[in-house]
Each structure stands twice: as C-alpha cells, then as structure tokens.
Amino acid sequence: MKILVDKNTNVLVQGITGRLGALQTKLMLDYGTKIVAGVTPGKGGQTQFNVPVYDSVAEAMSHHQIDASVVYVPAPFVEEAVFEAVDAGVSFLVIITDWVPLHSELKIKAYASVKGVRYVGPNTPGIMIPGQTSLGMISDSAVMPGNVAIVSRSGSLSDEVAAHLSEKGIGQSLVVGIGGDPVVGMSMVDFLKLLKEDERTKGAVIVGEIGGTVEEEVAAYIETEFGKPAVAFVAGRSAPPNRVMGHAGAIITGGRGTAQSKIAAFQKAGVKVAKTLWEIPLLVKEWA
Amino acid sequence: MRLYEYEGKEIFTRAGIPVPQGALVRTANEAWGEATRLDKQMVVKAQILGGGRGLAGGIKVAETAEQAGKIAQKLLTTKLKESHVDCLLVEEKLDIAREVYMSITVDRSRGGIVAMVSAEGGVAIEEVAKRNPNKIFSFLINPLYGLRGYEAINLVRQIGLGGEHLTTSARILSRLYQAFISCDARLIEVNPLVITSEGEMVAADARVEIDDNSLFKHPELQERHLQRIDNVWDREAVSGGVNYVDLEGNIAVMANGAGLAMALLDMVKDGGGSPACFLETGGGLSKQRMKNGVRLLLKKAKADPRIKVILVMARMMISPPDDVAEGLMEAIREVEVNTPVVAVMRGRKPYEQRAKELLKDSGVPIYSDLQEGIRQSIKLAKRED
C-alpha cells in the first residue's frame, strides 16, 4: 500500500526554473523522483535537466499523466499557483514555499476542501518515502527505507530526527513535515489515519513543538484509534512563554499549547516522550 | 504587526465604521487645541501597543480643555507599561447605554476565519469567555464567499440586538470583515462597540493586527514596522530576516528552523548549559541568513561579556555547504571579538565533508556529532566563565 505517493508517482514542479525550484528539482531527480514536467509561465518550451517546461499546469496536464505537484513559486504567487493546479485537476500538492500570506493560506484551505484535494504545507520540508520518492527537500542521506514513520511539524528538525534514526540503523516508511504555519493542509492526525492502514509501518515518531493544540489532538487519536506504538518529541520545553519563536505556530497562549500540556497529553496516551534527539532511537528500538 | 488604536480607527473610518469624534495629538498644546474644538467632556488616551492600558492609567477623562492639556502633558512625559507615549487620542466621551463586543480573527484549529460577537463588551471580555462562554457567539466564514449580510444579521441577533441596532451592527460587522480582508489582518477587534444613550453605535476602541507575511503588500506599514522596534538587536534580527529572542544565560544558540533551534535550546539546558539567546534563520539556510545570524550573535557577544560561547548548528538540507561556510566566515571576518564559536554541521554526507574542509583553517571547531558539539560548548562556557 502506498502512503499518498511512491516511486511510480508522476510529479509536476511548479516554479521549476526559479533558484530554489531548480536546485530542488536536481536533488529530487537524483533521488529518483519521477518528475515528468515543470511549469513556469513564460518559459514554456524550455527544458530543465531534460524535464519539459510548460506555461501552465493545464498544458502540462494535456501532455502528461500527473499525480502530484510540488510548489516552489515565491510566496506572493503561491495562491495563484495552487488554484491553477487544483483547477487543472491535480489531486495532491506539496507546498514548500514559506512566508505565504495568511489570507492565501485560508483561501487555499477552503478551495482544496471544496474540490476534495489533499495538500501538505505551506512552509513544509515536504514528504519522502525513503528508497522510493521525495517531494520536497528532506535530505537523501538523512533517511533509509524501513518501517518507522516520522510525522513532524518542523522542517529541519524532521531531517535531524530521521538522521538520528538512520544512524542507529532504524529505517523509515515515511518522513513528512506538515508545515509550520497556523493554517496548513493535511494534519498530523490525517497522516496517522493513513499510517494505521499501512501494513509496512510498525509505529510512528511524532515530532511536535510548543504552540497550538495539534499534539494534544494527536495524543487523543493515538490513545483511542491508532493501535500502533508511538514515540514523541516536543521542542521548546525551555522557551520563555509568550514569545514568538519563528513559526507563527509557536505562540503560547494561556495554559494551552505549552510543552507541559503536550507532554502530559502524550504520557496519558501511553506515548513515551524523548527528552533529547538521541533518546528517540532508543525508545523506538523497544518496538521497531 | 500590531497597530496603534489611532491607526485602527483610521482603517475603521475608511471602511465606514463610526468612531468617536476627536484627533491624534503629539503635544499638550495640540491636546488643548483639540479639546477646545470638541468643547465637551473628553477622554485622553495614550497610544501604546501593550494591553492593560486603562488599568495602568493610560486613559483619563477631562472636563475642560485646560485639564486635557495637563493630562496630555503628564502622559507624554511618563512611561506607561515600559513604553514611551509619543501620541494621544483626544476624543469625545461617549454617553454609554450598552457595550457589546465584535471581532474577526483566524481560528487555527478550524482553519478558517471566524466572526465573534458578545452581548457583553468591555475590559472583562476574557472573563465573560471563561465564566459565560454561552454569551459569546461565533460564525465560521468561508473566505471564498465572504460574509453575507444575512449571515451577519443571524449572528448579531443572537446577542439580543433588534430593530435599527440589528441592521446597524450587522452592517458594522460586514465592514469589519471587508477591512479584515483589505488590510490582510490576522485580527480586528472592537471592544467595546458602544451603543450610546442616543442610540448610535460607535467603535470606542480598535485593535488591528496585520499578518506579517503580507506586509510586502503594504509598504508604508512595513517601514513603520521596522521603525517601531525599540531594541537594537530585535531590529537587526528583523532586517536580517532572522528570529531572535534574548534569554538569561551565557551560551548564544543558533540553528536553522524554529523547531530545530528550540530543540537545541532544550538540549543545551538539559546538558547543564545556560542559553543566552535563541536565534533561528528559517529552515532553508541561505548564505546571507547564515551571515546575518552569526554576525548578530558576534556583535551581541562583543557588547555583552556575559556571552561566553556561540553555538551554531546548521542542518544542511538544501543549503550548499559553500554558502553555509562562507556566510559563517564572512561574519567572523566582519566582527572582531574573542568569543569562541562552536559549529555543528549536519546534513547530506558530501555537504558535511565539504563544510568541514572549507572551515578547517577557520579556528572554528566543527562537529558532525550533535551531542559532542553541545557538550563541547557547555564545557567551553564553564571554562570561560
């Protein structure tokens, strides 16, 4: 069974000729991602690393079977790019771009929900199925194929957690960051629902951080539904309250969203909480 | 970005939402002049950004122009909640019959925009939320369709408004929503929305917060945003595109990505170290951000001898190692300071090796083992102390 994408997934890159888009396309191709087309308005007819570039998503769709799109266009144009892809019939998107305007995120969320389209991000490192495909920027040398899933809120921290598991010989079935912004597409619970049905996945590592109530919701789901073991890590235990630390998400308000409330929720759900990154593989080894 | 009350009221006026008569003043003399023009009972309101302004003595009632001038003189020369007061609003004092509450904001757990109204407004709104949550009503707005007039009416009906008050308040709510959209707000709040004894509805206060990621669409606000940061380090951080938070200890901690930087902070603390500050550069680390971040910490260390070690962690996912190394070296060359820098460079294996090679003569110890890097910086901080 595949978790959203696999080695046969045909991928489109929106913003393929931009600085980041080009750099990323090269790395994804090197990893084996099946990138069949790219889009940059005005650059139709060119190629990027032998990948044909089109002026619009609709045009790319008329020439290729496309299962997913990775969006690298600059923040001011993300809303336009996502609406274009959804209208052209793309059914799964990964929106890498950060600093996306809040109102764009709200409109994307509403439109995707109307059209029944699933997406990850914005402000995400992407989704990777080790050994098969990578839609985003998770590093190839951090991961190895296996049966532990990493579901994270953060970008570089998901990469770091994957590296800690791989260094101890624990491979992964999925590495995904859901995005660090207040309004994102697929939630952690959405991913856990897919992992519950995935025979290959033995259990999950949940990488959370202070702010919001995502981790509390995850803990409740694991306690009642998940049926597989999990280990959690919560970043920001020593962060001072009421300060924004980068992610708009990391704002502590009142008693909700603190590291303490998240850790308590996980413990109540029977999920072991690692204090350091190098403790994560030790706890995972108990069941993986 | 949070706006001042007077800026919020300018937005309200443009949107057709009634606000009290009055004007913004910057001197006691101007306050006296505006009070003379108004020629009625007034309130003088200090313009600061923090909450709890009324309780701190920032809102005063004046009966005469002379009194308004005196109050203004006093407010403009004292600090309020640790902020200098640069300007004041001098406004007519409303004759209040009833106070309600209205806001438009983003509910992140529902992933949408919500309009909220409460039958009771005023300073105790959070108390109402706790004590009497059933007095607060909300409606989830679909941003693709906006807020329809009948939806606004159905919402404000629930707080017991009828007749002309019903249509007026629904119109105000619709205009608040339009203002929320046009200025890319993350919050617009009217607390209280006053119903005067003559039956008029007036926004007595205005709280507006703009989405920081949308400031590029509002260049005039973007400029003000930077000017308003008092702290020199915060200002350097904002203009350098990094996030910076001052803490108490002696190890300056930096990493790319908020989650990673927070995790590093926790592990330094757990290891017996004491973080002096937190700096994060965003996940995809560019040469410029690396340089801006390290430079800020070096300058800070130069100004503040409390800082004994600078611990920099780079998780190189897409950032080419040449950029990361060059950014680090350029910052070190620019700021002369003896504070030792410890770097943890991790990422794609060839990237790790390349970064190590580039920095081998830099005098900066480079670790690819995280635990080891943290341990070394704690040890160094203790020795230097």
DSSP A21-77: HHHHHHHHHHHT--EEEEE-TT-TT-EETTEEEESSHHHHHHHS---EEEE-S-GGG
Q: What 8-state DSSP symbol labels residue B213?
A: G
B223 catalytically annotated? no
Q: Domain B21-92 - what CATH class?
A: alpha beta
Asked if B289 and B241 count as a contact pair (C-beta separation under 8 A), the reply is: yes
Q: Comparing C-alpha atoms, which of B375, B309, B370 is closest to residue B344? A: B370
Asked if A148 and A202 count as a contact pair (C-beta separation under 8 A), the reply is: yes
Whether A105 and A160 share a structural domain: no
Residues 6+ apart with CB under 8 A from B204: B19, B20, B94, B99, B190, B192, B193, B194
Say if domain B96-220 classifies as CATH 3.40.190.10: no
Residue B315 is inside which H or E element, if any?
strand B309-316
Which of B216, B244, B266, B354 best tests the A interface by mutation, with the highest count of A CBs <10 A?
A: B266
Q: Pick the residue from chain A with its C-alpha nearest to B111.
A: A183
Range of the domain at A255: 138-285
**Which tens digit of pLDDT belongs to each residue from B105-133?**
988 778 899 999 998 887 767 777 777 77
Q: How many domains does chain A have?
A: 2
Query: Strands (DSSP E) along A107-202, which ranges?
Result: 118-120, 126-129, 133-136, 145-152, 172-177
Record: contact B111-A137, CB cut-off 8 A: no
Question: What is the ipTM, given to two decimal places?
Answer: 0.91
Using the Cβ of B109 and the Cβ atoms of chain A, whether some distance falls under 8 Å is answered with: yes
Q: What is the pTM of this model?
A: 0.92
Whether A264 and A201 share a structural domain: yes
Shortest distance between the Cα of A247 and any Cα of chain B, in A, equals: 6
Record: contact B214-A101, CB cut-off 8 A: yes
Predicted confidence at residue B60, as pLDDT, reads 95
Tokens representing residue B212 in the block: 């920081």
Q: Is residue A126 part of a domain?
A: no
In this prediction, the residues of chain A whose per-residue pLDDT falls under 50 are 243-254
Record: contact B318-A99, CB cut-off 8 A: no
Q: Comparing C-alpha atoms, which of B334, B337, B335, B281 is closest to residue B308? A: B337
Whether A146 and A280 share a structural domain: yes
Record: contact A240-B318, CB cut-off 8 A: no
The shares of helix, strand and coil residues in chain A, as percent rounded to the nearest 5, are 35, 25, 40
Using the Cβ of B362 and the Cβ atoms of chain A, whether some distance falls under 8 Å is answered with: no
Q: What 8-state DSSP symbol labels residue B93?
A: P
**Which tens digit of pLDDT belongs to each residue from B219-257?**
999 888 888 887 889 889 988 989 998 888 999 999 999
Record: contact B317-A159, CB cut-off 8 A: yes
Give the angle subtended at the CA of B192 by the CAs of B187 and B194, to the nearest 5°: 135
Whether A149 and A263 share a structural domain: yes
Whether A202 and A274 share a structural domain: yes
Residue B367 is inside which H or E element, if any?
strand B366-367
HSE (side-chain half, CA atoms, 13 Å) at B100: 27
Upstream peptide bond of B350 is cis (omega within 30 degrees of 0): no
Predicted confidence at residue A254, as pLDDT, reads 42
Chain A contacts of B347, Cβ < 8 Å?
A: 139, 141-142, 159
Cα B102 to Cα B169: distance, rounded to the nearest angstrom: 9
Residues 6+ apart with CB under 8 A from B124: none
In this prediction, the residues of chain B whose per-residue pLDDT falls under 50 are none
The partner residue sitting opposite B262, judged by closest CB among A99, A114, A239, is: A239
Rounded to the nearest 10 degrees, the angle between the axes of helix A188-197 and helix A214-221 is: 20
| B218-229 b/e (C-beta count within 10 Å ≥ 16 → b) | beebbeebeeee
Whether A107 and A169 share a structural domain: no
Shortest distance between the Cα of A3 and any Cα of chain B, in A, equals: 23
Which of B107, B147, B315 best tests the A interface by mutation, with the highest count of A CBs <10 A?
A: B315
HSE (side-chain half, CA atoms, 13 Å) at B160: 11
Chain B contacts of A248, Cβ < 8 Å?
A: 212
Whether A116 and A186 share a structural domain: no
DSSP tally for chain A: helices H, then strands E:
9, 14
Tokens representing residue B206 in the block: 């205005």
Whether A97 and A142 share a structural domain: no
B6 catalytically annotated? no
Predicted confidence at residue A60, as pLDDT, reads 98
Q: Is residue A153 part of a domain?
A: yes
Asked if A90 and A101 count as a contact pair (C-beta separation under 8 A), the reply is: no
Q: Comparing C-alpha atoms, which of B213, B53, B267 is closest to residue A277? A: B267
**Distance of CA A107 to CAs A188, B112, B181, Å?**
21, 9, 11
Q: Comparing C-alpha atoms, which of B319, B324, B336, B322 is closest to residue B291? A: B324
Q: Pick the residue from chain B with its C-alpha nearest to A106.
A: B112
Asked if B72 and B89 count as a contact pair (C-beta separation under 8 A), the reply is: no
Residue A91's φ and ψ, nearest 5 degrees, are -105, -10
Q: Is residue A253 part of a domain?
A: yes
Whether A114 and A168 share a structural domain: no
Whether A103 and A179 share a structural domain: no
Predicted confidence at residue A121, as pLDDT, reads 96
Give the angle subtended at the CA of B298 by the CAs of B328 and B286, to the nearest 5°: 30
Q: What 8-state DSSP symbol labels residue A211?
A: S
Residue B23 is inside which H or E element, if any?
strand B22-25
CATH number of the domain bearing residue A199:
3.40.50.261
**Which tens digit of pLDDT belongs to each residue from B128-159?**
777 777 788 999 999 999 999 999 999 999 99
Record: contact A110-B143, CB cut-off 8 A: yes
Which of B260, B277, B278, B287 best tests the A interface by mutation, with the highest count of A CBs <10 A?
A: B260
Q: Is residue A262 part of a domain?
A: yes
Asked if B290 and B324 count as a contact pair (C-beta separation under 8 A), the reply is: yes
Predicted confidence at residue A245, as pLDDT, reads 37
Out of B4, B101, B244, B351, the active site residue is: B101
Record: contact B144-A107, CB cut-off 8 A: yes
Using the Cβ of A247 and the Cβ atoms of chain B, whether some distance falls under 8 Å is answered with: yes
Domain edge (last residue) among A63, A86, A120: A120
Record: contact A160-B142, CB cut-off 8 A: no
Interface of B with A in 250-269 (CB under 8 A): 255-263, 265-267, 269
Q: Which residue has the tokens 């998400």?
A: A249
Cα B366 to Cα B377: distance, rounded to the nearest angstrom: 11
Chain B contacts of A102, Cβ < 8 Å?
A: 106, 184, 186, 211, 213-214
Shortest distance between the Cα of A202 and any Cα of chain B, in A, equals: 25
Whether A158 and A110 share a structural domain: no
Cα B262 to Cα B86: distance, rounded to the nearest angstrom: 36
Domain edge (last residue) among A120, A148, A163: A120
Whether A163 and A222 share a structural domain: yes
Cα A261 to Cα A245: distance, rounded to the nearest angstrom: 18
Shortest distance between the Cα of B43 and any Cα of chain A, in A, equals: 31
User: A192 in helix, strand or coil?
Assistant: helix
Using the Cβ of B270 and the Cβ atoms of chain A, whether some distance falls under 8 Å is answered with: yes
In terms of DSSP H, where are the helices of B52-207? 65-77, 125-131, 149-157, 163-182
Domain ranges in chain B with CATH number 3.30.470.20: 96-220
Domain B230-384 superfamily per CATH: Succinyl-CoA synthetase domains (3.40.50.261)
Out of B7, B34, B120, B189, the active site residue is: B189
- What is the percent of chain B with per-residue pLDDT over 70, rounded to a whole number? 99
Predicted confidence at residue A39, as pLDDT, reads 98
Record: contact B257-A157, CB cut-off 8 A: yes
Chain B contacts of A183, Cβ < 8 Å?
A: 106, 108, 111
Q: Is residue A2 part of a domain?
A: no
Interface of A with B in 122-181 (CB under 8 A): 123, 125, 137-142, 152-160, 163, 180
Domain ranges in chain B with CATH number 3.40.50.261: 230-384
Strand order in the sheet with A230-235: A133-136, A126-129, A172-177, A145-152, A203-209, A230-235, A272-274
Predicted confidence at residue B54, as pLDDT, reads 84
The partner residue sitting opposite B108, judged by closest CB among A99, A152, A212, is: A212
Q: Is residue A169 part of a domain?
A: yes
Residues 6+ apart with CB under 8 A from A201: A3, A147, A148, A149, A173, A174, A195, A228
| B48-78 b/e (C-beta count within 10 Å ≥ 16 → b) | beeeebeebebbbebeebebbbbbbeebbee
CATH number of the domain bearing residue A81:
3.40.50.720
